[in-house]
Amino acid sequence: MELSAVLFDRDGTLIVDKHYLGDPEGVELIPGTGEALGALHSWGVKTFVVSNQSGIGRGYFPESGWHACEKRLGELLAPFGAAVDDERFCPHGPEEGCRCRKPDTGMWESLKTAHNLDASRCAMVGDKVEDLLFGANAGLAVAVLVLSGKGEKSAEKLGLDAEEVRRQGFLAVSCPLPGKTQSGTRLFAATNVRTAVEGLLAIALFPSEA
């Protein structure tokens, strides 16, 4: 697989999930995040954030809180030679029926148009079943579930063995996604964002071994 871009969920994947985070003081990198995004940058792979942020629509924090947190994320990534190239967020609740909330693909379509992205060269990394579905619905080449954040509960929902994931660090998985009968997206599970990126780069650099 030729890897040109990786899309990341934010809360629980790149940063510690603080639940409706709108205060930049609460932004805390999950260990390995800086190194992971720095590695992608060194290989010329673009990085994007796609995040459901219903706390905005629910009035828990203003949209400016999202932007302040993203600015802080950038500051924390900078010492690692890392950065987020662009981001999209959905401010709506699940009951609003929008097209931008994962697992729907509005955020992907927006990034695809803005950056001329090719789904066959992109991957999705997140800690929820919705993130895997988002990757599959968008037709991305790969979707990776990490065990950080809500990842262990998500693995349980999908019938995955979290202990085996921890032992191997990164492995291919086969599991039915809710509401998805067929998908060309390859599914993997990883301990955290760092092992996810290491696995993705290995697939990209040594495809015959994947």
Tokens of 52: 């459901």
3-state secondary structure 32-85: CHHHHHHHHHHCCCEEEEEEECHHHHCCCCCHHHHHHHHHHHHHHHHHHCCCCC
Q: Given the DSSP bridges, would you call strands 86-90 and 46-52 parallel, antiparallel or unpaired?
A: parallel
In angstroms, the Cα distances linking 60 to 20, 25, 68, 96, 199 are 7, 16, 15, 17, 36
Tokens of 166: 């921890």
3-state secondary structure 141-174: CEEEEECCCCHHHHHHHCCCCHHHHHHHCEEECC
Which phi and psi (to 5°) does residue 43 adopt? Answer: -95, 5
Tokens of 76: 């924390």
Tell me the catalytic residues: 9, 11
